[in-house]
Structure formats: C-alpha cells, structure tokens
Amino acid sequence: MSPADELEIRNVLARLAQFADSGETDAYVALLTEDVVWAMPANPTIGLAASERRGREEIGRGQRERMAAGHQGPGSNTMHVVTTIAVDVAADADQAVAESYFQYWVDTATAPEIRNMGRYRDEFRRTGQGWKLARRSISFG
C-alpha cells in the first residue's frame, strides 16, 4: 500500500464521521461500495437492537432514520470521533482493513458527554472512484 492509499482510506473514515454529523446522506453513501454491509451488535444501554444493513440505499435510509430520531445530523448536537486508526492492505493491494476506535458524543453544544464508544473493523475495496467502504463491523465497549 502506498502512503497515498493509506491517506485516502483515513480520509474516507474521517468523512464518514463528518457526513454522519452534518447529515449529508448523498455524500455519506458515495463513500460506500454498492454492496456494502454494515453490521452492528445489540447495545441495550442505548436501546439498540442488533442489525445488519446492506447496500447504499438501506444504509442511507438508516442515516435518515437516525437523523429523524435526533441521534445525528443537523441540530442533534452529536459528534462521531474516530481515532487510533491502523490500516493494513491485502497482498493484492485492492483490499484493505482498518481498525479504529470511535466515540459518540452528545450534548456537544452545552454539556458534552460520551454516550457510546467502541471499535470499527472496516474493510475497504479499491474501485474506479477510489477506496470505498465495503463492510463495517461495530463492537461496543
């Protein structure tokens, strides 16, 4: 993997978090492969059931649902922070895996508080439009 590939993947991770917070759904899903899989375990602390979403359309719908519920997007005063990123590329150089930590902050305008934190295991695929997220597996704690 070239340093440019790693930088592009890191930027995809950053933009996903930023677009989740800004509510730019079209820009958000443009960072995903068409066949993307988003796997999230249950989290009873926040009343979240386990789910697995597939494809850009379904993931975009999920983002719009979270915005409608006030969990992200404009006016929600929430922030996704991604850190401690490690990127590894597969031998064929067209696939990569990134492991990172995340924090989900609420009440960022008044009394910032971490509501949730965990790990992302992200699989990326090089496409004709650059590196795209192909699978995200989330774990909490």
Name the residue ranges covered by the structural domains of the chain.
Answer: 3-140
Has residue 93 got a pLDDT over 90?
A: no
What pLDDT, on a 0 to 100 scale, did the predictor assign at position 92?
73
Residues 56, 62, 68, 69, Cα dihedral to 10°: -160
The average confidence (pLDDT) of the chain is 92
b/e map 35-47, b = 16+ CB within 10 Å: ebbbebeebeeee
Q: How far apart are CA 79 and CA 20, in angstroms?
A: 8
What pLDDT, on a 0 to 100 scale, did the predictor assign at position 3?
84
pLDDT tens digit string along 52-91? Answer: 899 999 999 988 988 898 888 999 999 999 999 999 987 7
The DSSP result for 76-95, as a single string, is: S--EEEEEEEEEEE-TTSSE
Q: How far apart are CA 126 and CA 141, in angstroms?
A: 30
Q: What share of the chain is helix, strand, coil (3-state, %, to 5)?
A: 30, 45, 25
What pLDDT, on a 0 to 100 scale, did the predictor assign at position 45?
67
Q: pTM above 0.75?
A: yes
Rg (CA), the chain: 15
Compute how many other C-beta atoms are within 10 angstroms of the C-beta atom of residue 30.
14
CATH for 3-140? 3.10.450.50
Whose CA is closest to 50, among 59, 42, 58, 62?
42
Residue in the block written with tokens 């850009």:
56
